[in-house]
Structure 1
Amino acid sequence: MKNVTTLILALFSVLTFGQSEERNEILIDKVQPDDIYLAGEKIEVNAAVKGDLVIAGGNLIIKDSIHGDLTGAGGEVSIEGHIVDDVRIAGGKITIDSEIGDDLVVFGGEVVITENARINGKLVCFAGDVTVNGEVIEKLDVRAGDVTINGTIRGPSKVVGEDITLGSNAKFYKEVEYWHSDGEISFNDALVNTQAQFNENLKEDATQLSLTTFGTKSISSWVKYILSAFLAILVFHALFKHAFSKAVEGIEHNWLKSFGFGLVYLIGIPLLIIVALLMIIGIPLGLFATAIFIFSLFFGHFIAAILLAYYFKYKKDNNWGFWSITLLALGFALLMRLLTTIPYVGIVVSVVILSITYGALTLKVIQSKKQLVYN
Structure 2
Amino acid sequence: MRIITFLLIVLWSMLSFGQEENEGNIVINTTQQDDTYRAGGSIKVNAVVQGDLVIAGGSLIVNDSINGDLTAAGGELFINAYIADDVRIAVGRVTIDSEIGDDLVVFGGEVVLTKNAVIHGSLICFAGNIEMNGEVIGKLDIKGGDVLINGTVKETSKIVGEDITIGSNAKFYKEVEYWNSEEEIDFKNSLVDTQAQFNEDLGEEESDLSLTTFGTTSLLLWGFYIFSAFLVILVFHALFKNTFSNAVKGLEHNWLKSFGFGLIYLIGIPLLIILALLILIGIPLGLFATVIFLFSLLFGHLIAALLVVYYFRYQKEKDWGFWSVTFLALLCAVILRLLTIIPYAGILISIVILSITYGALTLKVLRSKKLVKK
What TM-score, normalized by structure 1, do the two folds share? 0.58
Q: Distance in 1 between matches of 2:302 and 2:21?
A: 29
CA offset at residue 211 of structure 1? 3.5
Q: Which amino acid letter does the alignment assign opposite residue 141 of structure 2?
A: D
Change (3 A) 1:139 1:130: same
Decide whether the 8 Å contact of 1:144 with 1:206 is kept in 2.
Answer: no
CA offset at residue 301 of structure 1? 4.5
Please provide the CA RMSD for this pair: 4.2
Q: Which amino acid letter does the alignment assign opposite residue 73 of structure 2?
A: A
**What's the secondary structure of 1:102's corresponding residue?**
coil
CA offset at residue 204 of structure 1? 1.6
Partner residue, 2:220:
213
Q: Distance in 2 between matches of 1:155 and 1:127?
A: 21
Decide whether the 8 Å contact of 1:38 with 1:56 is kept in 2.
Answer: yes
Partner residue, 1:82:
82
Partner residue, 1:140:
140
**What's the secondary structure of 1:64's corresponding residue?**
coil
Counterpart mapping for 1:37-48 below 5 A: 37-48=37-48
Q: Name which of structure 1's ranges 155-164 and 302-311 shifts more when overlaid on structure 2.
A: 302-311
Q: Distance in 2 between matches of 1:96 and 1:315?
A: 37
Partner residue, 1:60:
60
Q: Which amino acid letter does the alignment assign opposite residue 140 of structure 2?
A: L
Partner residue, 1:70:
70
Q: Distance in 1 between matches of 2:60 and 2:42?
A: 6
Partner residue, 1:124:
124
Decide whether the 8 Å contact of 1:57 with 1:75 is kept in 2.
Answer: yes
Partner residue, 1:245:
246
Q: Which amino acid letter does the alignment assign opposite residue 166 of structure 1?
A: I
Partner residue, 2:159:
159
Higher relative contact order (CA 8 A, sep 6+): 1
Partner residue, 1:180:
180
Q: Which amino acid letter does the alignment assign opposite residue 303 of structure 1?
A: A
Q: Which amino acid letter does the alignment assign opposite residue 159 of structure 2?
A: V
Q: Distance in 1 between matches of 2:307 and 2:111?
A: 28
CA offset at residue 91 of structure 1? 0.5
Decide whether the 8 Å contact of 2:81 with 2:98 is kept in 1.
Answer: yes
Q: Distance in 2 between matches of 1:31 and 1:112?
A: 28
Q: Which amino acid letter does the alignment assign opposite residue 81 of structure 1?
A: A
Decide whether the 8 Å contact of 2:25 with 2:41 is kept in 1.
Answer: yes
CA offset at residue 246 of structure 1? 6.8
Q: Distance in 2 between matches of 1:106 and 1:316?
A: 28
Q: Which runs of 4+ in 1 moved over 6 A?
A: 307-311, 314-318
**What's the secondary structure of 2:186's corresponding residue?**
coil
Decide whether the 8 Å contact of 1:59 with 1:74 is kept in 2.
Answer: yes
Q: Which amino acid letter does the alignment assign opposite residue 87 of structure 1?
A: V
Q: Name which of structure 1's ranges 21-30 and 188-197 shifts more when overlaid on structure 2.
A: 21-30
Q: Distance in 2 between matches of 1:242 and 1:20?
A: 11
Counting matched residue pairs gives 250
Decide whether the 8 Å contact of 1:143 with 1:205 is kept in 2.
Answer: no
Change (3 A) 1:304 1:22: closer
CA offset at residue 52 of structure 1? 0.3
Counterpart mapping for 1:1-375 below 5 A: 20=20, 23-209=23-209, 211-215=218-222, 244-245=245-246, 301-305=302-306, 336=330
Q: Which amino acid letter does the alignment assign opposite residue 304 of structure 2?
A: I
CA offset at residue 207 of structure 1? 1.9
**What's the secondary structure of 1:33's corresponding residue?**
coil
**What's the secondary structure of 2:220's corresponding residue?**
coil
What TM-score, normalized by structure 2, do the two folds share? 0.58
Change (3 A) 1:195 1:29: same
Decide whether the 8 Å contact of 1:162 with 1:206 is kept in 2.
Answer: no
Partner residue, 2:348:
none
Partner residue, 1:356:
none
Partner residue, 1:251:
none
CA offset at residue 154 of structure 1? 0.4
CA offset at residue 162 of structure 1? 0.3
Decide whether the 8 Å contact of 1:244 with 1:307 is kept in 2.
Answer: no
Q: Distance in 2 between matches of 1:188 and 1:50?
A: 43
CA offset at residue 63 of structure 1? 0.5
**What's the secondary structure of 2:219's corresponding residue?**
coil
Change (3 A) 1:59 1:305: farther
Q: Distance in 2 between matches of 1:179 and 1:53?
A: 35
Q: Which amino acid letter does the alignment assign opposite residue 98 of structure 2?
A: S
Partner residue, 2:296:
none
CA offset at residue 77 of structure 1? 0.6
Change (3 A) 1:305 1:46: farther
**What's the secondary structure of 2:304's corresponding residue?**
helix
CA offset at residue 299 of structure 1? 6.4
Q: Which amino acid letter does the alignment assign opposite residue 220 of structure 2?
A: T
Change (3 A) 1:73 1:184: same
Q: Distance in 1 between matches of 2:319 and 2:38?
A: 13
CA offset at residue 214 of structure 1? 3.5
Deviations 1:209-263 (A, max 9, x none): 354234499xxxx8xx88xx69xx79xx99x976633769xxxxxxxxxxxxxxx
Unaligned runs of 5+ in 1: 1-14, 249-297, 319-327, 341-375
Deviations 1:274-317 (A, max 9, x none): xxxxxxxxxxxxxxxxxxxxxxxx96654344678999xx9999
Unaligned runs of 5+ in 2: 1-14, 210-216, 250-298, 335-374
